[in-house]
């Protein structure tokens, strides 16, 4: 269906390369355009462009008055620019050669864990195992397995009884490498940092991490297709390119599932939310793990994503309905933004996701708030605001970690002041 056709064409024109036994799609001279849609007429034409010219949409299409990023192969760039000029749609090229940017974001294979480069799943998991072996205050487990049988690992940090907990999850979307990099950075700071504030937070609260919710998709982005978003379960549908794979797992939670969202009902699109909620073994495992703790123990649930520099609060399914303690959550999110900006000037916008970003149903933060009654939940959309987007160079990982850690310190302090941990 609509966007898998796009992926199929991109795959046909992309160049295959051998890389340590893997075959990876390349994007030499592919451009990333930022397209500015000013009104509904332009929006309707923009939605239809893939019927004329092969493009890869990188963002959900929400409405006019927004910008959207698309990837276009070299042979179609002149045509797309002419079409935009004809439609009087303003655009700019934000990436001239996507492959060069991807090379800047290259990962290190078989190396020790650090936060100067991106790492493959085995390196991340080996580091987690090493930390668990070294520290008796860590309780590590496999909470379930992915469709392809890979472990979904958890780490619980608890230094004393009676603490309330913060829950952090990462990389539910495969292509968002900065997510798991940041989540593991925070975990490392809580375990190993000499920073007195981080050690205070590690003593005063319990911390629960699931750094890699989508291991199958993550491995696929390393070995085959860097632009992949979903998990890797066959959806049961086909199109002209063959079988369709994957469910957007952040559209699959059973809270207002299927009510709103761009192409969540198109089985071959990037944002397909499944035929019904809770179809994905990864999501079921995550929900069972969260539900295994006593009610009232987890007081904050934070999901890390890319990109846009947002603190997105409930709800996602509506832009007119807000949680009862929305004003309280806004004050907590403001504390994060005020502190995160200090190290490098990165400005985070905060508010309900349905209001700030786009209306979409079935997200983790809404399930955690609406079903599990966790009083502060959010999605943290990390760097940047669209220069590199999903392809943030690895030399920014540590900076992202630093600014998010500063924001997190202030967020927890404010949440404590607001009574979230009572």
3-state SS class at 84: helix
Task: Report yes or no on 335 lying in a domain.
Answer: yes
User: pLDDT tens digits for 350-371?
Assistant: 999 999 878 889 999 999 999 9
Please give the tally of structural domains in the chain.
2
pLDDT for 106 beyond 70: no
Whole-number Å distance between alpha carbons of 181 and 118: 7
Q: Using CA of residue 384, residue 153, residue 193, residue 421, what is the dihedral sign?
A: positive
Query: Are 100 and 197 in a shared domain?
Result: no
Quote the pLDDT of residue 239.
87
* DSSP bridge partners of 376: 300
Task: Report yes or no on 15 lying in a domain.
Answer: yes
Angle subtended by helix axes 215-223 and 177-192, to nearest 10: 120
- In terms of pTM, does the model score above 0.75? yes
User: In the sheet where 376-382 sits, what is the strand order?
Assistant: 138-145, 151-157, 206-210, 165-170, 298-306, 376-382, 310-313, 349-352
Task: Report yes or no on 268 lying in a domain.
Answer: no
Give the model's confidence band at 1: pLDDT under 50 very low, under 70 low, under 90 confident, else very high: very low
Quote the pLDDT of residue 45.
95
Whole-number Å distance between alpha carbons of 249 and 273: 7
Query: Are 117 and 97 in a shared domain?
Result: no
Task: Report yes or no on 224 lying in a domain.
Answer: no
Query: Are 86 and 126 in a shared domain?
Result: no
Q: Tell me which residue range forms the domain holding 79.
A: 2-104
Quote the pLDDT of residue 24.
84
Q: Between the CA of residue 338 and those of 177, 309, 351, 386, what are the distances in Å?
A: 25, 13, 14, 21
Tell me, what CATH number does 64's domain have?
Answer: 3.30.70.340
Task: Report yes or no on 237 lying in a domain.
Answer: no
Which residue of the set 282, 381, 403, 418 is catalytic?
381
The overall average pLDDT reported for the chain is: 92
Task: Report yes or no on 328 lying in a domain.
Answer: yes
| End position of a domain, from candidates 82, 104, 126 | 104
| End position of a domain, from candidates 104, 122, 143 | 104
| End position of a domain, from candidates 52, 81, 104 | 104
96 tagged catalytic: no
Give the model's confidence band at 9: pLDDT under 50 very low, under 70 low, under 90 confident, else very high: very low
Output DSSP code: residue 111. Answer: P
Query: Are 96 and 203 in a shared domain?
Result: no
Give the model's confidence band at 294: pLDDT under 50 very low, under 70 low, under 90 confident, else very high: very high
Task: Report yes or no on 413 lying in a domain.
Answer: yes
Query: Are 53 and 169 in a shared domain?
Result: no
Task: Report yes or no on 41 lying in a domain.
Answer: yes
pLDDT for 325 beyond 50: yes
């Amino acid at each position: 269906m609509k966007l898998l056709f796009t992926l199929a064409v991109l795959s046909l024109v992309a160049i295959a390369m051998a890389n340590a036994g893997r075959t990876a799609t390349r994007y030499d001279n592919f451009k990333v355009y930022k397209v500015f849609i000013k009104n509904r007429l332009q929006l309707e034409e923009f939605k239809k462009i893939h019927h004329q010219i092969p493009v890869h949409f990188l963002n959900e299409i929400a409405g006019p008055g927004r910008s959207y990023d698309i990837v276009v192969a070299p042979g179609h760039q002149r045509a797309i620019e002419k079409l935009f000029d004809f439609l009087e749609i303003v655009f700019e090229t934000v990436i001239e050669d996507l492959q060069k940017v991807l090379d800047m974001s290259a990962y290190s294979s078989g190396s020790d864990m650090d936060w100067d480069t991106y790492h493959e799943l085995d390196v991340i998991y080996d580091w987690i195992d090493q930390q668990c072996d070294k520290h008796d205050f860590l309780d590590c487990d496999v909470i379930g397995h992915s469709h392809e049988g890979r472990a979904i690992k958890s780490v619980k940090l608890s230094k004393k009884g009676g603490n309330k907990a913060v829950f952090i999850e990462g990389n539910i979307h495969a292509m968002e490498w900065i997510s798991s990099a940041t989540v593991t950075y925070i975990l490392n700071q809580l375990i190993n940092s000499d920073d007195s504030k981080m050690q205070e937070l590690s003593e005063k609260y319990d911390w629960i991490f699931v750094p890699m919710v989508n291991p199958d998709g993550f491995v696929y982005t390393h070995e085959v297709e860097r632009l992949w978003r979903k998990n890797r379960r066959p959806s049961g549908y086909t199109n002209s390119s063959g079988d369709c794979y994957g469910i957007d797992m952040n559209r699959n939670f059973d809270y207002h599932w299927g009510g709103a969202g761009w192409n969540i009902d198109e089985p071959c699109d990037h944002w397909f939310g499944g035929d019904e909620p809770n179809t994905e073994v990864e999501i079921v495992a995550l929900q069972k793990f969260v539900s295994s703790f006593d009610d009232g123990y987890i007081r904050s649930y934070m999901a890390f994503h890319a990109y846009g520099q947002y603190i997105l609060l409930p709800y996602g399914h509506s832009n007119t309905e807000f949680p009862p303690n929305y004003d309280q959550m806004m004050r907590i999110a403001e504390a994060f933004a005020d502190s995160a900006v200090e190290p490098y000037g990165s400005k985070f916008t905060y508010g309900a996701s349905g209001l700030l970003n786009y209306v979409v149903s079935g997200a983790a933060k809404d399930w955690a708030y609406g079903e599990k009654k966790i009083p502060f939940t959010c999605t943290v959309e990390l760097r940047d605001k669209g220069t590199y987007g999903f392809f943030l160079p690895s030399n920014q990982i540590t900076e992202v970690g630093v600014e998010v850690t500063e924001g997190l310190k202030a967020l927890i302090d404010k949440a404590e002041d607001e009574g979230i941990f009572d």
